[in-house]
Amino acid sequence: MAWVFLVIAGVFECFWAVGLKYTDGFARPVISLVTLIFMVASFWLLSAAMKTIPVGTAYAVWTGIGAAGVALAGILLFQESRDITRILCILLIVTGVIGLRVFSR
C-alpha cells in the first residue's frame, strides 16, 4: 500500500506544481486553495509512504514522478519544447523511478 500512496503523492505533486502556474501568484483564491489542498495531500501521502519505504527511495520516486509529470504537463499545456533530447531526458527520469521500484526491497 505504501507504493500506491507514493505514486498518488507524486501525481498530486504534479497537480500542485502545475496549479502554482494558474494561481497567478496566489491572486486567484479558488485555484490557490485547490493547489494548497493538493500540496497538503501530496506531503501527507509521501509521509505515509515513508513509514515503510526508505526515505531516499521515497523522495527520489516522489520527485521523479513530479519532475517527469510537470515536464510533460509543460509540453502539453504550455507549449514548452518538444525537443527529442528533452523527451529522452524525461524518459530517463521515468526509467529511474521504475528502476527504484523494481530493485527496492
CA 62 distance to own-chain centroid: 6
Give the pLDDT of residue 66: 97
Give the pLDDT of residue 104: 82
Mean pLDDT computed over every residue of the chain: 96
R_g of the chain, CA atoms, integer Å: 15
**Is 90 exceeded by the pLDDT of residue 62?**
yes
C-alpha cell at 104: 527496492
CB 45 within 8 A of CB 6: yes
Give the pLDDT of residue 105: 74
Mean pLDDT of 13-35: 97
Domain locations along the chain: 2-103
C-alpha cell at 61: 520516486
pTM of the model: 0.91
pLDDT tens for residues 78-102?
A: 999 999 999 999 999 999 999 999 9
